[in-house]
Amino acid sequence: MSENAVAVVILAAGQGSRMQSDLPKVLHRLGGVPLVGHALSGARSLDPEQIVVVTGHGSEAVSRAVAKLDPEVQCVLQAEQLGTGHAVQQALPQLEGFQGKVVILYGDTPFIGEDTLAALSSHDADLVVLGFEAEDPGRYGRLVVTDKGLERIVEYKDADEATRQIALCNSGVMALDADLLRLLIVRLSDDNAAGEYYLTDLVALARAEGRRADVVTCDEEETLGINTRAELARAEALFQSRARARAMDDGVTLSDPGSVFFAQDTVIGRDAIIGQNVVFGPGVTIESGAEVLPFCHLEGCHLSAGATVGPFARLRPGAELGGDVHVGNFVEIKNTVLDEGVKVGHLTYLGDAHVGEATNIGAGTITCNYDGVMKHRTTIGARAFIGSDTMLVAPVTVGADAMTGSGSVITEDVPDGALAIGRARQATKPGLATRLMAALRAKKETR
């Protein structure tokens, strides 16, 4: 165990009744991922030895989401919600034997920055509370600080008028030595109006032990907690504003920044160009020099340098675009690799496929990948030419330098260099259309 070891406890047990939702509050999405995912990302920035998430309301759903986001994280259940101190107490058995600093975060507080967390975890005081200067302190708890550090936390309802004038407010986030936490947590009392065990009481208990408590401050925005749909919407706006500014600072061109929406993990290289009304779901990486034209939706995909997408294209999870690939308007790509130089101009669906380099996919092409029970793959070789309105019924392989005739239904493999035509023979009946139309008109006139 390192000298500066850190463990993180994330409190995520609350119901969030003010959200008016059956979904646990920490599973509401911000930047395309659950709120608790932002807390986990912050925790991971500390390179902790352990992360423990305390669940409660909707514990099974929260645990599943946490496991998907970070399989190494441990979840524990707070069966009864008896306050923040009680919640942390449920996590302590998972930290048995841990020596170091324990950082306590909240699953509904997504914006605490890496620098702030680093300052909190590395502070030399025995107990450190994260505070902020509030523009409107309102009913926040106040932090009373003297030359000896943090003296006490005073809840608004218990504060006198002089204390209420203090602008330094309590975020609820704190860090303290693991042994001190074990010593003090069992001394918390529920002798209060709510009948709950509060973490804030640890400050007075620590000082009574002769330990030093102190405060690390951050911008008020970092401490924004989510309790209502309106606050979630404000948080989304703040997240998007930061993501857009960060992208442009990194050398990305956003044609209309306010209309582009990012996910938490969107990665875009410098000199990429993003048109207006583009939405990024989770798991998108775009290399330098690629371009996404307006009105596209991308999720779980990768664009190599020089690739262009859109307008009006959708890239779904598993889409891998090589260098100089072009995906045009009204094209959908799912679980498909397009090698360098592939052209998919318009009105096409490619799912569960691999397309070789420099191949041209004609308009209206569909890989028929689902037979009603299972998915099947389509493989198209390099430099192939797929005619417009081709149906490729998987599993099927079209060889290198091969072609398909427009309007074909391809159900068998096509060898390299071959031309495949799979359509019914056309029959033309001279004059029949004229006679049929005349008969129809006559019938209408006799009615």
Residues (pLDDT < 70) of the chain are 1-3
Rounded Cα–Cα distance for residues 16 and 23 (Å): 9
Residue 26 is given by DSSP the state G
Residues in the chain: 447
pLDDT at res. 2: 60
pLDDT at res. 333: 98
Query: With the C-alpha atoms ordered 46, 109, 265, 268, is the resulting torsion angle positive or negative?
Result: negative
SS3 call for 20:
coil
pLDDT at res. 16: 83
Collect all residues with Cβ–Cβ distance below 8 Å to 33 and sequence separation of at least 6: 69, 263, 264, 265, 282
Active-site annotation holds for 376: no
| Strand 127-133, strand 142-146: pairing | unpaired
Residue 306's Cβ-side half-sphere holds a number of Cα atoms within 13 Å equal to 9
Residue 273, phi then psi, degrees to nearest 5: -125, 130
CA angle at 395 for the pair 392 and 401, rounded to the nearest 5°? 60
Comparing C-alpha atoms, which of 269, 279, 287, 290 is closest to residue 313? 279
Collect all residues with Cβ–Cβ distance below 8 Å to 35 and sequence separation of at least 6: 25, 26, 27, 28, 29, 107, 108, 110, 226
Tokens of 229: 């749909």
Collect all residues with Cβ–Cβ distance below 8 Å to 180 and sequence separation of at least 6: 126, 127, 206, 209, 211
Residue 425 is given by DSSP the state P
Tokens of 327: 């995906």
pTM: 0.89
Rounded Cα–Cα distance for residues 330 and 345 (Å): 9
Give start and end residues of each alpha helix (H) in 186-308: 201-208, 229-249
Residue 386, phi then psi, degrees to nearest 5: -100, 115
Q: Of the listed 123, 346, 354, 376, which one is catalytic?
A: 346
Collect all residues with Cβ–Cβ distance below 8 Å to 296 and sequence separation of at least 6: 275, 278, 279, 309, 310, 311, 312, 313, 314, 315
Query: With the C-alpha atoms ordered 178, 180, 181, 186, is the resulting torsion angle positive or negative?
Result: positive
